[in-house]
A and B are shown apart, each in its own frame.
Chain A
């Protein structure tokens, strides 16, 4: 009875944490500066033409906003959201500083001018040269008050390198679907954690032959499959908004995670097709250990395995900068929330398994003596 109360308490806590994550993700975190769509939105609002801009990086020349010394003229680049922090640092000082600058969608009031280049209406190929000219009217940036805003004269061109990081593809802001990240990434993280629990429990099972560890192993595997499924489902929904397609086989992260999912589906199928508990536990434990090789493969795929060119956004940026403070906080809470949720579910799942084994045991006893 006591464990049941603990279980209920944990479920309440994890529900509140996931609710908090949802709230923070939707209402608190600003969108990072990367978007294909919003650039598209701005363009189409100007001339009514729908133009698909897949994304590009452009060197921008800033004409100083009114009230800023001409000597402070600088070149800057519309960069990906990993530079968000530097941007924030820059505006807090109230002057434009040398360096990488990001114009967020929230800041952009209007864009007059246009993009020229072969990218219009099509998909950019590698090495396409695009140029941007025009004026971005931005609010909340610069030495003037947030209300008045200032103009950034925009001109520049750059070769487009498709296939680096998805985040670099674009300018302005990410579509709101970017916030799927706050559920997608923790789900993926929990699936790795769950499979790690399966690995450890499998090893312990083989060492000790205590059926307790077998219960932990397959409960964790089942939950891992659940969270991997959630990650695999939410990822493409985001990808459709950001990349325009649901799935890219070129992205090693996607494919390795998919393979990982298949491995553990196989693990569950193997268990389902074996009856004798002892043999099932042994054999499944060995497969749980072998199958784990796919976890580091998936975990590190976007970092170290350029077997295929991956375009998966990296969560932990290798360069300095990384997530904005708000984003970092939300990601942190999301990870904590999902971890608590996972622990809760794991305890519940193990309890169910224990009760079921108890029932089996009881049935055998009754059946044996009847």
Chain B
């Protein structure tokens, strides 16, 4: 009985964790890229073309 509940929670956790870890990963990736773009633009502005 309890093993069945464990199975249920394990499965639900896998889905929740899988989905939201992926979303968090996307978010971090986006932030890093945005930061890189910003710094690159600033560098270009500062040093001229």
Bound together, the chains give a CA A242 to CA B40 distance in angstroms of 56
Are the C-beta atoms of A238 and B22 separated by less than 8 Å? no
Task: List residues of chain B with CB within 8 A of the CB of A355.
Answer: 30, 33-34, 37
Task: List residues of chain B with CB within 8 A of the CB of A184.
Answer: 11
| CB within 8 Å for A230 and B19 given contacts A184-B11, A359-B33, A362-B40 | yes
Are the C-beta atoms of A362 and B4 separated by less than 8 Å? no
Are the C-beta atoms of B33 and A356 separated by less than 8 Å? yes
Residues of A in contact (CB 8 Å), total 38
Which residue in chain A gives the minimum CB-CB distance to B44? Answer: A366
Task: List residues of chain B with CB within 8 A of the CB of A230.
Answer: 14-15, 18-19
Which residue in chain B gives the minimum CB-CB distance to A219? Answer: B26
Bound together, the chains give a CA A22 to CA B15 distance in angstroms of 11
Bound together, the chains give a CA A175 to CA B12 distance in angstroms of 15
Are the C-beta atoms of A237 and B11 separated by less than 8 Å? yes
Segment with Cβ contacts to B, from A50-58, A277-285, A307-315, A344-352 = A344-352
Residues of B within 8 A of A (CB): 1, 3-5, 7-8, 10-12, 14-16, 18-20, 22-23, 26-27, 29-30, 33-34, 36-37, 40-41, 43-44, 49
In the assembled complex, the CB of B28 is this many whole angstroms from the nearest CB of chain A, namely: 10
Task: List residues of chain A with CB within 8 A of the CB of B30.
Answer: 348, 351-352, 355
Interface pairs (14), CB distance under 8 Å: A26-B8, A177-B4, A180-B7, A183-B11, A183-B15, A234-B14, A237-B10, A238-B11, A345-B23, A352-B30, A355-B37, A356-B33, A362-B41, A366-B44
Task: List residues of chain B with CB within 8 A of the CB of A209.
Answer: none
In the assembled complex, the CB of B24 is this many whole angstroms from the nearest CB of chain A, namely: 10
- One of A15, A18, A37, A359 near B36 (C-beta < 8 A): A359
Task: List residues of chain B with CB within 8 A of the CB of A212.
Answer: none
In the assembled complex, the CB of B39 is this many whole angstroms from the nearest CB of chain A, namely: 10
